[in-house]
Amino acid sequence: MPADPFLLPVDSLDREAAAAELARLSAEIAHHDRLYHGEDAPEISDADYDALRARNIAIEARFPDLVRPDSPSLRVGAPVAATFSEVRHVRPMLSLDNLFTDAGVHDFVKQVKSFLGIVDTPVFTAEPKIDGLSMSLRYERGRLVTAATRGDGTMGENVTANIRTIKEIPDELPPGAPDVVEVRGEVYMKKADFAALNERMLNEGGKLFANPRNAAAGSLRQIDPKVTAGRPLSFFAYAWGDLSEPLAATQYDAVRRFADWGFPVNPLMVRCHSADELIAHYRLIESHRADLGYDIDGVVYKVDSLALQERLGFRSRSPRWATAHKFPAERASTIVKAIEIQVGRTGALTPVAKLEPVTVGGVVVANATLHNEDYIKGIGQDGAPLREGRDIRVGDTVVIQRAGDVIPQVVDVRLELRPADALPYQFPTVCPRCGSHAVRETNEKTGKVDAVRRCTGGLICPAQQVERLKHFVSRNAFDIEGLGDKQVEFFHALDDAHLCIHTPVDIFTLERRESSGLNRLANFPGFGATSVKNLFESIEARRRIDLHRLIFGLGIRHIGEGNAKLLARAYGSWDHFYAAMKIGAAGDPETLAELNAIDGVGAVVAEALTDFFGEEHNRAAVDALLSEITPLDAEAPVTAGSPVAGKTVVFTGSLEKMTRDEAKATAERLGAKVAGSVSKKTDLVVAGPGAGSKLTKAAELGIEVIGEDAWLERIRGL
């Protein structure tokens, strides 16, 4: 096989090879930029795109005089994505949990019943899960006023002008509709319309869309509504957000009202009375999947009674009253051309298979994750064989699988097609980016060797530094507009102390440093005075930052968005949080117990926090950052009028009108902290029959104790 130049390590390139490689990278990156920004039809993953740019930067760093006038590193910020104004969703737009098996359906029904503490199976609805984009349409006094995309669930893009061009969406609602109603549903493109659109694009010399979903997204993101008007978009209404009055008593009837108002609703929505009926309807929809005329990727089940939906409420990202039963993943065979190693934010070395591109379920796949060293060798998590022990080699024909938006996986190897000269893959034991040792740690408690090999370079590893910065500025963390992955790489690679960004605090000192340096950022190709001004403004706007975004942005292992929110809510302010983390890291038992008592925070999270804050260099980086920013106190949930907001409540004994989970979820929704044991910090104990030692303890400490009825009375109507 001829050597793929992409595989040559940067260090081994001579001048001539480097120049050729820079020319190739410039063209290839420009091609992907066009696909991504112009057509909404990327061919490669963000990670692969990032790898191309990183390679370009690394070669330029070795041969600075070979930097081309059309270098991608100078084109930073050039392709500005279409910009729409932002809309804050009055009620967040959540996603759905997934399940894939019949057993999963039975579990879902069981969980609903056990949360509600009921024996009889409630009524559910079942309907197709449309593969499009979710949309929230706000009507005030019967008129469409805003249409917003889901965005991050809290803030979406204002696409009202484009939505008005969709004929299926009424501009006005008939008399009798609530004063305020947000109708939610899916914008999608029918398969026939998609085919016709691609045919037209072909004739007009435009770029083809990979599938109807991308076509719908691309059509909606047009800055000029006239372009959207020429695109055949459709809509199904299936949910709602803000309301001035209730719509109906059930999910089914609420959707019927949408139909009465003129919205398209899906004809395959039915009511079911058992898990078996749900599964039967799933099978029916699955058998009609190919002839529906639009893409669906599963079936959505929802509790029909809105009163029960209300009681079930939400987890951090999804409702407890609904779930998606997804169709099985689609598979295809292709060849592994190479195996590359990516270095992540926490130093994890992740192998990625570079594949002969193949279409799986309408999407071209050229990369698949290989997870870790053992996965390549054919060893599973518990040491048991994977794929009957078949390893994965460069040159192998493999079976890949793609489910929804999940990264494609290599699920099997076809040994009969293995080339005679294919060799077992040698996993690197040094970091490909910084050369530090890469090790597999042994978990002290379990004695097990971690499946992940990690670079030990920490902050000296450029890959880890860059990934941490990308995480820091990402949408759910600091969300700094104009400072995306590409810009982070650009600033990180700069050699100018007045302009480079190596750690988070550097972002906030950039403007000052720039103004006292010699080089103006505005003189860099692709920047310009306006984009520099905008960048500085968006950085300024984030000096005041939500506490959970800060905690998440620090990039501590195991602290995802959900945990960051739990911590922010539990500690309330940065000062409380940081003080506790410092004493906790020093081993203070009371602080550690408090941390462990936060519902949802387990030993792994607590340890990750103490590990992080126990490191001097992490505290120094945090202190530096905090000298530039002001964290805002955490917002308590529904505190207006809540008599339990900010109170610590303990439930004990058996509750008769609600389950323990439900009681806890309600209390938290109303801004209370729910603790498992009574201490000086407890404000209220809610005791049912059979309460024992906790009651005694409460009496000793003089804490208020009430019964279940009194509790319900206290929170009534909230």
Residue of 40, 127, 396, 546 that binds ligand IVH (CB under 6 A): 127
Question: Of 89, 90, 217, whose CA–CA distance to 148 is shortest?
Answer: 89
Minimum gap (Å) between residue 307 Cβ and ligand IVH:
17
Instruction: Determine the interface stretch with ligand IVH among 126-134, 201-209, 469-477, 514-522 (rule: CB under 6 A).
Output: 126-134
Nearest residue to ligand IVH on Cβ basis: 134
Minimum gap (Å) between residue 388 Cβ and ligand IVH:
34
Closest CB to ligand IVH among residues 208, 307 = 307
Instruction: Determine the interface stretch with ligand IVH among 56-64, 77-85, 123-131, 660-668 (rule: CB under 6 A).
Output: 123-131
Which residues fall within 8 angstroms of residue 7, CB to CB, at 6 or more apart?
338
Residue of 126, 300, 601, 670 that binds ligand IVH (CB under 6 A): 300
Residue of 216, 324, 550, 649 that binds ligand IVH (CB under 6 A): 324
- Position 308 contacts ligand IVH (CB under 6 A): no
Minimum gap (Å) between residue 660 Cβ and ligand IVH:
24
Residue of 29, 59, 96, 237 that binds ligand IVH (CB under 6 A): 96
Handedness of CA 587, 589, 594, 600 (dihedral sign): positive
> How would you label 72-96 residue by residue, b for 16+ Cβ within 10 Å and e otherwise?
bbbbbbbeeeeebeebebeeebbeb
Q: How many chain residues interact with ligand IVH (CB under 6 A)?
A: 15
Minimum gap (Å) between residue 297 Cβ and ligand IVH:
8
Closest CB to ligand IVH among residues 266, 465 = 266
Closest CB to ligand IVH among residues 91, 414 = 91
Residue 309's Cα: distance from chain center in Å?
A: 24
Residue of 77, 319, 584, 688 that binds ligand IVH (CB under 6 A): 319
What type of residue sits at position 485? D
Within 10 A of 550 (CB to CB), how many other CB atoms are there? 26
Minimum gap (Å) between residue 707 Cβ and ligand IVH:
34
Minimum gap (Å) between residue 133 Cβ and ligand IVH:
7
Minimum gap (Å) between residue 238 Cβ and ligand IVH:
4
Letters for 181-200 (x = contact with ligand IVH by CB under 6 A, - = none) are -----x--------------
Closest CB to ligand IVH among residues 241, 671 = 241
Residue numbers annotated as active site = 129
Compute the 3-state secondary structure of the chain and give helix, strand, coil in percent, each to the nearest 5: 40, 20, 40
What does 199-247 look like in DSSP terms, one character per residue? HHHHHTT-PPPSSHHHHHHHHHT-SSHHHHHTS--EEEEEEEEEESS--
Minimum gap (Å) between residue 610 Cβ and ligand IVH:
35
**Spatial distance between the Cα atoms of 13 and 435, rounded to a whole number of angstroms:** 17
Letters for 66-95 (x = contact with ligand IVH by CB under 6 A, - = none) are ----------------------------xx
Minimum gap (Å) between residue 251 Cβ and ligand IVH:
9
Instruction: Determine the interface stretch with ligand IVH among 74-82, 317-325, 407-415, 546-554 (rule: CB under 6 A).
Output: 317-325
374 phi and psi angles, rounded to 5 deg? -65, -35
What type of residue sits at position 342? Q
Binding to ligand IVH in span 567-606, by CB under 6 A: none
Are 422 and 396 in contact, with CB atoms under 8 Å apart?
A: yes
Minimum gap (Å) between residue 276 Cβ and ligand IVH:
21
Determine if residue 77 is left, alpha or beta; phi over 0 gives left, psi from -120 to 50 gives alpha, anything else beta. left
- Position 221 contacts ligand IVH (CB under 6 A): no
**Spatial distance between the Cα atoms of 57 and 493, rounded to a whole number of angstroms:** 7
Closest CB to ligand IVH among residues 234, 367 = 234
564: three-class secondary structure by DSSP: helix
Closest CB to ligand IVH among residues 310, 590 = 310
Closest CB to ligand IVH among residues 127, 396 = 127
Residue of 10, 22, 25, 239 that binds ligand IVH (CB under 6 A): 239
226 phi and psi angles, rounded to 5 deg? -65, -35
Within 10 A of 244 (CB to CB), how many other CB atoms are there? 11
Closest CB to ligand IVH among residues 6, 314 = 314
Residue in the block written with tokens 């009524």:
123
**Spatial distance between the Cα atoms of 417 and 414, rounded to a whole number of angstroms:** 6
Instruction: Determine the interface stretch with ligand IVH among 55-63, 122-130, 168-176, 385-393 (rule: CB under 6 A).
Output: 122-130
Binding to ligand IVH in span 128-147, by CB under 6 A: 129-130, 134
Closest CB to ligand IVH among residues 111, 639 = 111
Within 10 A of 560 (CB to CB), how many other CB atoms are there? 13
What does 5-61 look like in DSSP terms, one character per residue? GGGS-GGG--HHHHHHHHHHHHHHHHHHHIIIIIHS--SS-HHHHHHHHHHHHHHHH
- Position 250 contacts ligand IVH (CB under 6 A): no
By CB atoms closer than 10 A (0-12, 13-18, 19+), residue 174 is: exposed
Are 402 and 410 in contact, with CB atoms under 8 Å apart?
A: no
Binding to ligand IVH in span 474-533, by CB under 6 A: none
Question: Of 186, 206, 192, whose CA–CA distance to 264 is shortest?
Answer: 186
Closest CB to ligand IVH among residues 393, 565 = 565
Minimum gap (Å) between residue 150 Cβ and ligand IVH:
6
Closest CB to ligand IVH among residues 318, 596 = 318
Which residues fall within 8 angstroms of residue 594, CB to CB, at 6 or more apart?
580
What type of residue sits at position 424? P
What is the binding site for ligand IVH (CB under 6 A)?
94-96, 127, 129-130, 134, 150, 186, 238-239, 300, 319, 322, 324
